[in-house]
Amino acid sequence: MRVELIWTDAINPKGVTEILDAPDELSEQDIEKWGINLLKEFNILEIERYREKARTRTFVSCRSLGTNNKGHNWTKKNLVTCSNPRWGLYDIYQCTKCGIWGKRYGLDSGIRRDYKYKAKAYKDCDTALEFIEKKGR
């Protein structure tokens, strides 16, 4: 599902609105927890990285914008955040519907499709499913 997450930090006291993909199985109450956790993870990484210069984010609100049938339903596949000298910290995600893989890098809020799934057809889940069907896995 699509969610709207609003947070503030030292240089954005009025708040920043982000539209993100969250797992479809989240209930209304879990959406808020999901947003709070996302910012908690962000703050931990931010403090690790920038120490006293860290710009931590404060949760304002998080609400569902409804299920997006076209969108991928990303679920996190790693329990502990991965680290790589080239990419830094990242999490691995897989779509439960079409099966493609992606990563969320450190302080990035969006999930990026892996290089193998760079083609435009993979952008939305419905077209990805079609494409995979045609081409074979």
Nearer to Zn ion, 61 or 69 (CB): 69
CA 41, CA 108: separation in Å to the nearest integer? 11
Binding site for Zn ion (CB under 5 A): 72, 95, 97-98, 125
**CB 110, min distance to Zn ion, A:** 15
CA 137, CA 113: separation in Å to the nearest integer? 16
**CB 129, min distance to Zn ion, A:** 7
Nearer to Zn ion, 55 or 123 (CB): 123
> How far lies 35's CA from each of 20, 31, 103, in Å?
10, 6, 18
**CB 27, min distance to Zn ion, A:** 21
* 3-class state of residue 109 by DSSP: coil
